[in-house]
Structure 1
């Protein structure tokens, strides 16, 4: 059937549930795993975060677009989400340093967006029934046809997506005269991670997702960094092998999110797909080494199996998520290696965890 109103649009979930809304004016049909972010600000950083590649984003904040966009407030050079679902879409914006409105920003990249959705009900439904594949349609495609197309979309579990967002060729960030040299594995790296490293006097060479240890070692780095990124970490066999060799040579290494999961897999510790994942800028984490609490920015749908990590003789859990007890950080006892399952480079967001970049530099100094 066709929709009766030309502006009418819908979100169809894999279990057959339908939420209706309105198109903001960009016609099309897009697929992805539906998830939600609870952040009250920072929508542009969310939309351009490579870790969200392949996902339909539901914004739980009631207003999206009210402060427009700014060309420097991005985590990648383009929008990474598959589509957007929101309650109130602001066609007009108000901010002194905005570059353009959100609709114009979306039109340039053809991001299909559905507004006027009961996002409170939608977020509650996803929370109770789990993240699942979905389709946004704003062009009137019949629902039965959408169901057939949606059934053919692969699940996120087992899906390798880092190759879709990683750089194709190595590139440099920072000043060649900087004190420290870092080889970074780009599994979907955010620009603000690189800014934080450069701010700490690092010259960074960023390598593609499938770079070998020999590739990264050729830069003669003082330390290695494994980045965040989208998809399931399990298929990233080359990255896991690279991580193994970094550890075999006891090089200083720091991993964030997907990089954290790759380090676990490189040591025989499993990961699993979470029911919903953690996505927001107010997630509480406890530092088990200091006893202090941290408010953190998080964005992940996979996690490290805590029971296996606790049994591993060479690992200890350094941070845990206070809400559900999942592993939020770990380190090795015999290697110069640590990682976290959240974003210390958060922007916008809390800066409680920015000290982790300082710890990485301290580890590099100790290794010299």
Structure 2
């Protein structure tokens, strides 16, 4: 774009980048992270798991195919800010309803482009995740440092309740015998679609829903969703998962849901150095010996040694990049979880079978 206002990106460690404003003119703060995907930017921006984070998109061109309503994963953009090398105002997809710049402005997202994202990602990859600030209205470095110092660390933040639905809602065939109670800590629309397209009737409950609320739906299975924030700050959710497990019905957790299932079984979680975010993470299915290329978005993980010491938990999936635990299964209950996103919007469909496994587990108990 021509005549763009200047913008500044300042990291917590003092690293500073100067670029050009894109989207809303203003100031925003959050934890910096990077996504390695080459496509699917609108799905990324609307993923509730990114709430509280400013995202670097590794791909050099972002916005080149515009935006459209069918590419959203929630009711609004959830990222706090966007960093890119080339954030494109022009787009070429006929189905698009508008440009990325218009979309970010409509959703109030402050962004910066013309940044050397290769150097920035290498810096974050080396030094680790940290808070940052983007501004196209305050350009004074000292003032920005003072503003950034007020931003809390992601460690210890409970954010799921901020993105969860406030009222329960339903999707799928209401006459289906396969009823799934979904605990919404930041669920993506395509996760729900992956269940309803397999014949399930799902009811999505707020993060603070009680077990009695969910039992009134008479579910045959429970799904623990993805979401943002530190799982160790979610005692209320861990207690809910413990109550759900006591129902002895099939349970499936994804991402934050995976971490909550671990915590419910006394497996601690930890904040990762820089997290996993992208569409190309190789994961070994321990049971089949096959590698799956997975979609991921998480900054916390479960303690691998604690998992291995627990005689009641089986490791089902391992990340082939860093050997982190990507999937677990309880030996005494029909419950399992994965750290990655098998709905894979965007991404390869290697892991969609997990939804088949979950629905089949429910069907066998009808």
Query: Structure 1 runs of 4+ off > 3 angstroms?
Result: none
Who is 1:233 aligned against?
231
Measured in 1, the distance between the counterparts of 2:96 and 2:163 equals: 26
Task: Please tell me whether the aligned partners of residues 169 and 207 of structure 1 are also in contact (alpha carbons under 8 angstroms).
Answer: yes
**SS of equivalent residue, structure 1 residue 316:** strand
Residue 316 (structure 1) aligns with: 314
**Paired residues of 1:212 and 1:238 also in contact (CA < 8 A):** no
Measured after TM superposition, the shift of residue 365 of structure 1 is: 2.1
Match of 1:202 among 200, 205, 209: 200
Alignment equivalent of 1:21, drawn from 6, 19, 31: 19
Distance in 1 between residues matched to 2:354 and 2:109, nearest whole Å: 35
Equivalent pair of 1:213/1:243 in contact (CA under 8 Å): no
Residue 213 (str. 1) matches residue 208 (str. 2): no
Q: Which of 140, 143, 147 matches 1:145?
A: 143
Structure 2 distance, partners of 1:197, 1:365, is 13
Rounded to whole Å, the distance in 1 between the matches of 2:326 and 2:4 is 46
**Counterparts of 1:90 and 1:146 in 2: how far apart (Å)?**
26
Native 8 Å contact 1:182 1:203 kept in 2: yes
The 3-state SS of whatever aligns with 2:292 is strand
Q: State the 1:177 CA deviation.
A: 1.2
TM-score (norm 2): 0.98
Aligned partners of 2:345 and 2:267: how far apart in 1? 30
1:315-367 per-residue CA deviation (whole Å, 9 max, x = no partner) reads 01000000000000000011010000000101121100000000001111233
User: Which residue of 245, 251, 254 corresponds with 2:252?
Assistant: 254
1:25 Cα deviation from its structure 2 partner? 5.5
Residue in 1 that maps onto 2:278: 280
Describe the SS at the equivalent of 1:255: strand
Aligned to 1:58: 56
Q: 1:141 Cα deviation (Å)?
A: 4.1
Task: Please report the TM-score for the alignment, with normalisation by the length of structure 1.
Answer: 0.97
Give the aligned partner of residue 97 of structure 1.
95
Structure 1: gaps spanning 5 or more residues: none
- Supply the distance in 1 between the matched residues of 2:4 and 2:86 (Cα, whole angstroms): 19
Q: Residue 359 of structure 1 corresponds to which residue in structure 2?
A: 357
The aligned counterpart of 1:161 is 159
In structure 2, the gaps of 5 or more residues are: none
Q: Return the match for 1:293 from 288, 291, 294.
A: 291
Partner of 1:39: 37
**1:361 and 1:25, CA in 2 relative to 1: closer, same or farther beyond 3 A?**
closer
